[in-house]
């Protein structure tokens, strides 16, 4: 069941009018309509931003197994909270923040795997130099470099650089002081840049 199937011409359509599909509507219009209760507008937002949220969740969790659940939970919360969103044009960043919170909730549940007090542990070197030389693209190298961070370093870095959160927000979400977040991010960033640039 595609969107276009359900928005086929209403009787009022003037012949030969431009296609009015919501698919091309700006985020602000879609967010306002969804806030007013239009599920079709919400569907366009889901299709437009869901894949990015899923990719973000996958990077946060270090795998895809929980990404779909995080995206689903995020959109269900988003539907309920859309009427409180002030500027519909910022809906993408707003959705990413909801996804951040949902991912962090799940990371907290993994307490046996990744106790938060391990945030400061020194990460193992990700790959041997011989292997690193073989990697094909920059993106793969970044992926490998990310794998070399501790989980908390990686999450902090994603929250900051991809999710756009402030140090205070990251500290709140990970239950650590903002000053600690800053140190964590400094180490993560330096390690990533150095691995990417082959300084070691």
Partner 1 sequence: MTSSDDTPDRSVDRSGSEPEVTNDSGDLIEVLNDYLDRGEDPPRELLDGSPDHQLTLDALVRFRRLTRELLADDVAAEPARDDGWVATILANIHSESRAGRSIPLAHPSSIADLSISEGAVRGLVRAAGDAVSGTLIGACRLEGDVTEPGSPITVAVEASVFWGERIRATADHIRTAIESALLLHTELNIVAVDVTVTDVHLRRTGQENS
Q: 3-state SS of the chain?
A: CCHHHHCCCCCCCCCCCCCCCHHHCCHHHHHHHHHHCCHHHHHHHHHHHHHHHHHHHHHHHCCCCCHHHHHHHHHHHHHHHHHHCCCHHHHHHHHHHHHHHHHHHHHHHCCCCCCHHHHHCCCCCCCCHHHHHHCCCHHHHHHHHHHCCCHHHHHHHHHHHCCCCCHHHHHHHHCCCHHHHHHHHHHHHHHHHHHHHCCC
x-or-dash string of contact with partner 1, 73-92, rule CB under 8 A: --xx--xx--x----xx---
List binders of partner 1 among 13-32 (CB under 8 A).
13-14, 17-18, 20, 22-26, 28-29, 32
The verdict on 66 binding partner 1 (CB under 8 A) reads no
The residue (of 42 and 94) whose beta carbon lies closer to partner 1 is 42
Shortest spacing between CB 50 and partner 1, in angstroms = 7
170 within 8 A of 183, measured Cβ to Cβ: no
The residue (of 51 and 112) whose beta carbon lies closer to partner 1 is 51
The verdict on 115 binding partner 1 (CB under 8 A) reads no
- Name the nearest CA neighbour of 120 among 196, 176, 173, 164: 176
6 alpha-carbon distance from chain centroid: 29
The verdict on 33 binding partner 1 (CB under 8 A) reads yes
Shortest spacing between CB 166 and partner 1, in angstroms = 10
- The phi, psi pair for 43, rounded to 5°, reads -60, -40
- The residue within the footprint of partner 1, chosen from 61, 66, 70, 71 (CB under 8 A), is 71
x-or-dash string of contact with partner 1, 142-181, rule CB under 8 A: x------------------xx--------------x-xxx
Shortest spacing between CB 175 and partner 1, in angstroms = 14
Residues at the contact surface with partner 1, assessed by CB under 8 A: 1-2, 10, 12-14, 17-18, 20, 22-26, 28-29, 32-33, 35-39, 42-43, 46-47, 50-52, 54-56, 58-59, 68, 71-72, 75-76, 79-80, 83, 88-89, 138-139, 142, 161-162, 177, 179-184, 186-187, 189-190, 192-194, 196-197, 199
């Amino acid at each position: 069941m595609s969107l276009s199937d359900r928005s086929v011409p209403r009787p009022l359509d003037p012949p030969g009018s431009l296609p009015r599909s919501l698919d091309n509507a700006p985020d602000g219009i879609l967010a306002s309509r969804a806030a007013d209760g239009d599920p079709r507008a919400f569907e366009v937002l889901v299709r437009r931003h869901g894949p990015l949220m899923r990719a973000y969740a996958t990077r946060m969790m270090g795998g895809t197994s929980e990404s779909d659940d995080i995206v689903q939970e995020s959109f269900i919360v988003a539907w309920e909270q859309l009427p409180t969103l002030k500027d519909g044009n910022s809906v993408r960043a707003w959705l990413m923040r909801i996804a951040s919170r949902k991912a962090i909730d799940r990371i907290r549940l993994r307490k046996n795997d990744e106790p938060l007090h391990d945030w400061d542990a020194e990460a193992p070197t990700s790959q041997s130099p011989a292997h690193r030389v073989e990697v094909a693209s920059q993106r793969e190298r970044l992926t490998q470099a990310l794998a070399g961070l501790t989980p908390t370093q990686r999450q902090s870095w994603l929250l900051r650089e991809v999710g756009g959160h402030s140090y205070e927000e990251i500290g709140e979400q990970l239950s650590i002081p903002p000053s600690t977040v800053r140190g964590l991010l400094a180490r993560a960033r330096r390690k990533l840049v150095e691995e990417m640039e082959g300084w070691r």
